[in-house]
Every structure is written in C-alpha cells, then in structure tokens.
C-alpha cells in the first residue's frame, strides 16, 4: 500500500492517471469539531495493471500541494468516479473552488440501474464486486498519525472496488441508453451553488410549528447570526446553539443577558460574551423587520388546493413506472413534485429531461383526463380514455 506524501509523487501519479479513461476517488474526513470538513486522506485509483495503480494521499503532511490533483480533476478526458459524491465534492470546492468534471456518481447510477432506493456502497460491493467491506475502521479518527495497516487497507478498498462497480454500471447504462440520465443528475453536483451555504437562507433548514411572519423574522435573524458565527470561526453550528434553542429564543424574545439565563436549552457559553450579544442583536433585528420583508413559508397543498385523489393517482403511477423501469421511485419524483403537479404546477423536476420521458408525459395526460389507471395482472398500466 503506497502513501503519497510529496507534491512530486502526487504529480507523477496524476500524470499517469491522466492517460486512463477514469479515476476513482474517495476521501476520509472529520467534521465533528469544525464547520467545514477537515480532509484527512484521499484515495485514488485508475484501471492500471501494476501495484501502484491505487494510492493513498496524505493531505496532512506539511508541504504537500494538491495542485496536481486539482489539475487532474479539471482534465475533461478523465472521468472522475465517486460514490455518494456530495460531501467529497464539497471538501474540494471549499478548499480550492474546484469541482471534478466530468463526474460519475455510482450511487445515482445504481438507482438508475435497478439497485433500489438505497443504493449503498456495501450493497454494490456485495452484488457487483462479489466482495465484502471490512467495517472495523469505519469510525476511526482519520486525523491521527500514523495510520494503521487496517485503516489503509479499509481506505484503499473504497477505490479499488469502485473500479469494478463503475465499469459494471457504465456498461449497464450503455446497454440501456440511460447514460444521459445520469449525466443530467450530475448537473446539481456540478453546480457551485450546491456547496455554498448562504446565511440569509439558513432559516429555511430550521423546523418550526408556526408560519407567523413575525416569528419567522426572528428565526431568520438568529439562524443568520449562527451561520455567520460558525463559518467565521469554523465551528459546528450546534456549538453556537442548537435548533431547539433557536426556536425557544424566537418564542421568548430575550432582551438582556438576564433573560438568556432563563433559557432551558441554551448552552452556558451562549449566555454571555459574543454569542449572547449576537443573539440579542438578532432578536432585536427580527422584531424590527418590516412586514413586507418577513419570510414566508409556502404550503403547496394549501396554496394550490391540491386534489388529493389526483395526487394519490400520481403516486400510483410513479410507483408503477419505478417498477417497470427499475429506477428508484424517489429519483423519478418526490412527494412534493407530485403534490405540485396535482396542484397545476408544471415547473418541477419530474416533468423535465429523462423524468418526463419515464413519467412526466403520462403524468400530464393523467392530469388532463386523457388516460386512466388500470390493473393488468400484477401491474398497474395506463389506459386511453
């Protein structure tokens, strides 16, 4: 097992990898104590024939420059293969503003190729690579050095198995003509906006039981402060204060540090100093927000007066399409997509691209009363009306 610790060796490996049609990539990282993931290890492999066609790269070594890797990531002639790529890609984007392209995510491809809703890596290793994953090193601290042989073996297996999985899935997509479907799905992962967290929109992730504009205004300002504070200091947002404490603060509207001391849910460190000052300022700002600037939560069912019978029929249709095509149902259409369609909205993902071909076109005909649903044996089919 070879571990790259110098920029020169990394450049040599990447130059060799660039001669092959694809390279498999994985990372090990920590995020428990930081806002941004701490990159601890990079695994790379290409379809070579030697013992050094799969390597570990140690980014924690002083003086190692990842520039050769980022150059490989931007090489349009080499497909970069990941499994469940989003977190890995976020690390590289935050570090250098680079998103590997062209990109292939085996999790998405597996959902297109009939491996179900949860196309987990272990499942694909077992079913495609005919092997098993050693779980013993899964929850180790990847920032500690030296790495054990068991850790190295575990990490390297992630990219060596991935070669077999990629080649199989790529072949299946070629046979089915669905490779363009996966390419469409990569658009979200290739979009820099996917990896940017705007403090202005942080409130949208906070679950509340009320949609009052005055209440949500305070939630928005508190969430914005928390996100700014966590990003600036690179600490987890929950170390500032948790969501339940945020909702409590929006309800109680504290006006002084004495008020903060009465909170049941606020961490002790948040009741004084910079965090306390930020909380009080955010509450005051939220209370002063003009009505026209207050955030709104749209309830699709209430706004569109969704026909529940039609929504249920669309759910039956999408399930039948998932069964007949082998594509994971949640990849074809989400529950909110179906509600939106049943409510007359047409600008939804389920009605565009490959989804329209698989489901959307018939969904629109169902909404228009041009087709109905019938049971034929064990299948649900559409019939002309």
Asked whether the predicted pLDDT for residue 50 surpasses 90, the reply is no
Contacts of residue 255, Cβ cutoff 8 Å, sequence gap at least 6: 280, 283, 284
Distances (CA, A) of 283 to 235, 247, 277: 22, 11, 10
| Average pLDDT estimate for 284-304 | 81
> Taking residues 292-311, what's their average pLDDT?
76
> What is residue 135's predicted lDDT score, i.e. its pLDDT?
76
Given a cut of 90, whether residue 141 has pLDDT beyond it is yes
Strand order of the sheet with strand 22-30?
A: 2-4, 54-57, 38-46, 22-30, 79-82, 103-105
Contact 138, 221 (CB under 8 A): no
Torsion-angle region of residue 269: left (phi > 0), alpha (psi -120 to 50) or beta?
alpha
Q: Tell me what pLDDT residue 139 has.
A: 80
Q: How far apart are CA 343 and CA 190, in angstroms?
A: 31
Q: Tens of pLDDT along 158-217?
A: 999 999 999 999 999 999 999 999 999 999 999 999 999 999 999 999 999 888 999 999
Nearest 5°: phi and psi at 247? -65, -40
What is the C-alpha separation between 200 and 148, in angstroms, rounded?
43
Provide the strand spans (E) within the chain. Answer: 2-4, 22-30, 38-46, 54-57, 79-82, 103-105, 371-376, 379-384
Mean pLDDT of 52-65: 96
For residue 304, name the pLDDT band (cuts at 50, 70, 90).
low
Average pLDDT over residues 366-377: 94
pLDDT digits (tens, 9 = 90+) for 327-344: 999 999 999 999 999 999
Q: What is the pLDDT of residues 235-256, one digit of tens each?
A: 999 999 999 999 999 999 999 9
Mean pLDDT (whole number) for 136-151:
90
Q: Does residue 37 register a pLDDT over 50?
A: yes
303 confidence band (pLDDT: 50, 70, 90): low
pLDDT digits (tens, 9 = 90+) for 109-130: 999 999 998 789 999 999 999 9
Residue 96 pLDDT greater than 60, yes or no:
yes
Residue tagged 């903060």 (tokens): 260
> What was the pLDDT predicted at 306?
78
Whole-angstrom distance, CA of residue 199 vs CA of residue 115 = 37
Between CA 304 and CA 97 the distance in angstroms is 40
DSSP state letters, 244-261: HHHHHHHHH---SHHHHT
Q: What is the per-residue pLDDT across 251-270, written as a single tens digit (0 to 9) for each?
A: 999 999 999 999 999 999 99
CA-CA-CA-CA torsion sign (58, 62, 68, 70) = positive
Q: Which residues contact 98 (CB under 8 A, 6 or more apart)?
A: 70, 73, 74, 92
Residues, the chain, total?
385
The CA–CA distances, whole Å, from 211 to 194, 284, 295, 342, 358 equal 26, 19, 9, 23, 36
Strands 2-4, 54-57: pairing is parallel
Measuring CA to CA, how many Å separate 9 from each of 57, 69, 71, 107, 172?
10, 11, 14, 30, 35
Angle between helices 273-288 and 213-233 (to 10 degrees): 150
d(CA 350, CA 340): 10
> Are 92 and 73 spatial neighbours (Cβ–Cβ below 8 Å)?
yes
**At 300, is the pLDDT very low, low, confident or very high (cuts 50, 70, 90)?**
very low
Confidence label for 301 from pLDDT (cuts 50, 70 and 90): very low
> What is the per-residue pLDDT for 287?
98
**Average pLDDT along the chain:** 94
How far apart, in whole angstroms, are the C-alpha atoms of residue 147 and residue 248?
44
Q: DSSP letters along 62-73, please?
A: TT---HHHHHHH
Residue 312 has pLDDT above 70, yes or no: yes
């Amino acid at each position: 097992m070879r571990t790259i610790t110098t920029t020169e060796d990394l450049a040599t490996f990447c130059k060799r990898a660039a001669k092959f049609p694809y390279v498999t990539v994985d990372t090990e990282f920590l995020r428990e104590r930081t806002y941004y993931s701490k990159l601890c290890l990079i695994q790379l492999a290409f379809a070579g024939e030697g013992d050094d066609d799969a390597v570990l790269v140690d980014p924690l070594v002083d003086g190692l420059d990842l520039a050769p890797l980022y150059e490989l990531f931007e090489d349009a002639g080499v497909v970069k293969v990941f499994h469940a790529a989003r977190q890995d890609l976020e690390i590289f984007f935050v570090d250098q503003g680079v998103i590997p392209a062209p990109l292939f995510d085996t999790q998405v491809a597996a959902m297109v190729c009939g491996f179900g809703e949860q196309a987990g890596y272990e499942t694909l290793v077992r079913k495609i690579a005919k092997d098993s994953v050693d779980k013993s090193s899964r929850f180790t601290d990847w920032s500690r050095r030296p790495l054990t042989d068991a850790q190295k073996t575990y990490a390297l297996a992630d990219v060596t198995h991935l070669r077999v999985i990629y080649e199989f899935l790529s072949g299946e997509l070629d046979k089915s003509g669905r490779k363009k479907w996966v390419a469409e799905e990569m658009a979200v992962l290739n979009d820099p906006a996917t990896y940017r967290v705007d403090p202005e929109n942080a409130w949208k992730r906070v679950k509340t039981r009320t949609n009052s504009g005055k209440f949500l205004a305070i939630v928005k300002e508190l969430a914005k402060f928390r996100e700014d504070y966590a990003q600036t200091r690179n600490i987890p947002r929950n170390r500032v204060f948790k969501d339940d404490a945020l909702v409590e603060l929006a309800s109680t509207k504290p006006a002084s540090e004495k008020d903060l001391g009465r909170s049941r849910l606020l961490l002790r460190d948040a009741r004084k100093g910079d965090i306390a000052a930020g909380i009080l300022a955010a509450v005051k700002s939220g209370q002063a927000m003009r009505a026209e600037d207050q955030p709104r939560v749209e309830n699709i069912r209430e706004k569109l007066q969704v026909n529940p019978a039609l929504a249920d029929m669309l759910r039956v249709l999408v399930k039948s399409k998932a069964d007949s095509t082998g594509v994971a149902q949640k990849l074809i259409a989400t529950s909110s997509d179906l509600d939106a369609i049943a409510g007359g909205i047409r600008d939804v993902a389920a009605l565009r691209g490959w989804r329209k071909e698989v489901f959307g076109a018939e969904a629109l005909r169902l909404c228009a009363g041009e087709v109905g649903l019938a049971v034929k044996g064990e299948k649900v089919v559409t019939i002309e009306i």
